A and B are shown apart, each in its own frame.
Chain A
C-alpha cells in the first residue's frame, strides 16, 4: 500500500458525501496525528458544531481549545471557525481598521461579505486554517510550528473544489487589493504538498460515484488529493468461498447442524436468506472497492463501530489510520 499522505503534509482537509463520516474521520485523524506527543488542531468551518457534538462538550467558541488527549500522549485542540469573526480578526490584524471596521459591521457588510459572496467567506475560512498551519511555536521548545498538523472538517464533496479554489472564486469579485493577495497566499498553501484533501465514503453506489467525481474535480483544479477513507466497513461473516455457498444443499447441511440448538428448518431458511442478502451486499461492496481502486489514490478502510461513536470508537478509528500511515511509511 502506498503512503496515504506525503510526510510533509501538515494541512489535512477531510471532505466526503454528507453523512459518510467527515466529522468522525477528521477527529480520528487528528487523534492519530497527535499520537505520541504531537499537537494537532481540528477545525470546523460550517458552523454546525459537529466537533462539540462528537466530543460531547459545550459548543466551541471562536477560540482554540484542548479537546482530547491522543493515545501515547499528544493533544488535540479544536476550533470552530466563524467567518464573521475571522474577517474582523483579519481586518484588525492587518489594517487596524477600528472605526471603519465597526461601520462595516453596522452596515451588514460583514454579513454581506460572508453570506452573499461565498468566495469571500471561503477565503476567510481557509485563510484562518492556513494561518494556523504557518503559525510558529513560541511556547514549544524544539518545534518549528505551533501545530504539527491542522485537520479540517471541510464542506462536502459537492462543494469542496469551489470552497478550496478560493483564488478563482475571488478573482471574479476582487480584482485587486489585499483580499485578492490573501486569496493567492492561501492558494499557494492549498496547492502545495503541505496539503492533502482526503475523501470519506461508504461502499455504496452514490457516495462512491460522488467520490470519484470529487477526485476528478480536485485534480482538475490542481488541488492535492490524499487518501480515500472508506468508512463504516462492516465485518464479513462469510468468507469469500462461502458467499456463493448458501445454496439449497448447504441449507440442508446447516439445518442438520442447527437442529440440536432448537433451530427448526424454517428458521434455518430465514438465516440462509439473511446469508444470501449478506453475500449479495458483499459482492456489491467488492464492485465499489474496485471502482475506488480505479481512482489511483491510496485507500484506507475504517471499521464500522457497533452501537455508535464514542471516544473509544474514535481511538479505534485513529488506530486504523495510524496503522495505515505506518504501513505506508514502511513501503
Chain B
C-alpha cells in the first residue's frame, strides 16, 4: 500500500555512536517529554551514556527520574538496567537566564541587571525565552559532555509551545529584537560619538522619547536605558552563542524526531516542522506517532459489533457486559480508522519520513517501567 510509511529504526538511531544529539519536538501535550525520557532510558540501557534535558515534565515522572530538586544541573538516574548511564535534568528557565548574566556580564553590573525591572520582565515573559534557554542549555550540556566525558548522547525535549516552530524561531526573534532600531538608539548615549546616522535617528527619537515619557512616566525610560546599557556587554555573546547552537543543530550527529498525536492539529504542526527542517538543512530522523489506538479484533467491523450489541440489549440473559464490550470495540474501530486516515494524509504529504508508533496506555507513563515499556513499543 502506498500509504504505508517506512518504519523508523529507533535502536539503529540510538546505538549509532555517531548520533550525539536527538531533539524531540512537536506541538504541546503530544508526549515530547515522555518520548525523550523513554528514548534516553532505552539508549542508556543499550550502553550509551546519555543526558536528557526535560522541560516541564509531569510531576510524577520528574520524581521517578530523581528530579526532585530544581538545581538546573543534570543528576544521575538510578535504576538503569544496562551498561550505560543516564543523567536527567529539568530546565529552569529563569535560572538559566540568570546564569548567562552571571557568566557573561561585567562583574560590577551583574546585580544591576538582575534587579532591573525590565530584565525581570524580559526574562520571565519574552515570548521565546524558554525556547532560547533550551538552546542555551543544550550548548552548555554539549560543552560539559566534551569536558567531563559524562555523556556522549544528549536528548533534548522542547518547550510546550503551541507551535513546534517556536523552537527554531526563538534565537532569531531574540536576535532581531537586539538588533532593533530602538535598542540601537537607546544604546547610543552609552557609546561615544554615535555617528551622523544615529544623530539623525536620535532627533526623531527625542519626539518618541517625549511621547513615551508622557505615557509611561520618565522613570521608565531611564530603567530601559539602564537595562539596555547594562546588557550591552552581553549582547554580542548572546547572539554568537545562539548562532553556534543553531549550527550545532545542523551538524552531523544531530537528529530531530517530530512527535505528534494522531490528531489534525498535531499532525499539521508536524508537517510544517518537517518542511521547515528540510529548509534549514536540519536532519529529520522521523515521526513518532504517540497515543495511537490499535484495533485488536480486526475482523469485526464497527457496524457488525453495533448490530450485535443491539440484539444483545434485547436479550435478558446478557448482563450488559457483552454489549458494552462490543460498543467499546466499535468506538475503537472508528477512532482507529480516523487516526489511520490522518496519519496517511501526513505520509502522503511528507513521503519518505520514517514513522514509529506508541499505543495509548490506559494510565500515565510516570516511572522507569512505563518508560521502558514505551521504549520497547517504539522500537517495535
Contact in complex: B127, A180 (CB < 8 Å): no
Q: Which of A35-43, A134-142, A267-275, A318-326 contacts B (4 or more CB under 8 A)?
A: A267-275
Residues of chain A with a CB closer than 8 A to B59's CB: 206, 209
Complex CA distance for A99 and B206, rounded to whole angstroms: 12
Say which residue of B211, B223, B317, B318 sits within 8 Å of A100 (CB atoms). B211
Q: Is B362's CB within 8 Å of the partner chain A?
A: yes
Contact in complex: B363, A281 (CB < 8 Å): yes
Q: Is B84's CB within 8 Å of the partner chain A?
A: no
Q: Is A95's CB within 8 Å of the partner chain B?
A: yes
Contact in complex: A177, B217 (CB < 8 Å): yes
Contact in complex: B312, A257 (CB < 8 Å): yes
Interface 1/0s, chain B 325-342, versus A by CB < 8 A?
A: 111110110110010000
Contact in complex: B217, A271 (CB < 8 Å): no
Q: State how many angstroms separate the Cβ of A307 from the closest Cβ of chain B.
A: 6
Q: Is B215's CB within 8 Å of the partner chain A?
A: yes
Contact in complex: A242, B211 (CB < 8 Å): no
Residues of chain A with a CB closer than 8 A to B322's CB: 253-254, 257-258
Complex CA distance for A116 and B128, rounded to whole angstroms: 11
Q: State how many angstroms separate the Cβ of A313 from the closest Cβ of chain B.
A: 13
Residues of chain B with a CB closer than 8 A to A261's CB: 304, 308
Q: Is B29's CB within 8 Å of the partner chain A?
A: yes
**Given known A-B contacts A238-B321, A267-B299, A284-B362, A206 and B58 have beta carbons under 8 A apart:** yes
Contact in complex: A242, B308 (CB < 8 Å): no
Contact in complex: A109, B363 (CB < 8 Å): no
Complex CA distance for A307 and B331, rounded to whole angstroms: 11
Q: Which of A144-152, A168-176, A184-192 contacts B (4 or more CB under 8 A)?
A: A168-176
Residues of chain A with a CB closer than 8 A to B324's CB: 237-239, 242, 275
**Given known A-B contacts A117-B118, A173-B216, A284-B362, A205 and B28 have beta carbons under 8 A apart:** no
Q: Which of B153-188 contact A (CB under 8 A)?
A: 160, 162, 177, 180-183, 185
Quick one: closest A residue to B208, CB to CB? Answer: A103
Contact in complex: A205, B58 (CB < 8 Å): yes
Say which residue of B212, B315, B332 sits within 8 Å of A274 (CB atoms). B332
Complex CA distance for A179 and B217, rounded to whole angstroms: 9
Complex CA distance for A221 and B211, rounded to whole angstroms: 32
Q: Is B351's CB within 8 Å of the partner chain A?
A: no
Q: Which of B299-327 contact A (CB under 8 A)?
A: 299-300, 304, 308, 312, 315, 317-322, 324-327
**Given known A-B contacts A175-B220, A179-B215, A115 and B127 have beta carbons under 8 A apart:** yes
Contact in complex: A173, B363 (CB < 8 Å): no
Interface 1/0s, chain A 86-129, versus B by CB < 8 A?
A: 00000100010101110110111101100111110000000000
Contact in complex: A180, B217 (CB < 8 Å): yes
Q: Is A73's CB within 8 Å of the partner chain B?
A: no
Q: Is the interface of B mostly helix, strand, loop or mixed?
A: helix
Residues of chain A with a CB closer than 8 A to B27's CB: 18-19
Say which residue of B120, B182, B338, B363 sits within 8 Å of A172 (CB atoms). B120
Contact in complex: B264, A172 (CB < 8 Å): no
Q: Is B205's CB within 8 Å of the partner chain A?
A: yes
Residues of chain A with a CB closer than 8 A to B216's CB: 173-174, 177, 179-180
Q: Is B1's CB within 8 Å of the partner chain A?
A: no
Q: State how many angstroms separate the Cβ of A187 from the closest Cβ of chain B.
A: 17
Q: State how many angstroms separate the Cβ of B34 from the closest Cβ of chain A.
A: 10
Complex CA distance for A30 and B334, rounded to whole angstroms: 30
Contact in complex: B117, A172 (CB < 8 Å): yes
Contact in complex: B118, A274 (CB < 8 Å): no
Residues of chain A with a CB closer than 8 A to B185's CB: 107
Q: Is A306's CB within 8 Å of the partner chain B?
A: yes
Q: Is A204's CB within 8 Å of the partner chain B?
A: yes
* B interface residue numbers (CB < 8 A to A): 27-29, 58-60, 117-118, 120-122, 124-127, 160, 162, 177, 180-183, 185, 201, 204-205, 207-208, 210-212, 214-217, 219-220, 223, 264-265, 296-297, 299-300, 304, 308, 312, 315, 317-322, 324-329, 331-332, 334-335, 338, 362-364, 366
By Cβ-Cβ distance, the 9 closest A-B pairs, closest first, are A118-B125, A100-B211, A176-B217, A18-B28, A172-B117, A177-B217, A270-B296, A19-B29, A103-B208
* A interface residue numbers (CB < 8 A to B): 17-20, 46, 48, 91, 95, 97, 99-101, 103-104, 106-109, 111-112, 115-119, 159, 162, 169, 172-180, 204-206, 209, 235, 237-239, 242, 245-246, 250, 253-254, 257-258, 261, 263, 267, 270-275, 277-278, 280-281, 284, 306-308
What are 10 A-B contacts defined by CB distance under 8 Å? A99-B207, A106-B204, A108-B181, A109-B182, A116-B122, A174-B220, A206-B364, A246-B321, A253-B322, A258-B322
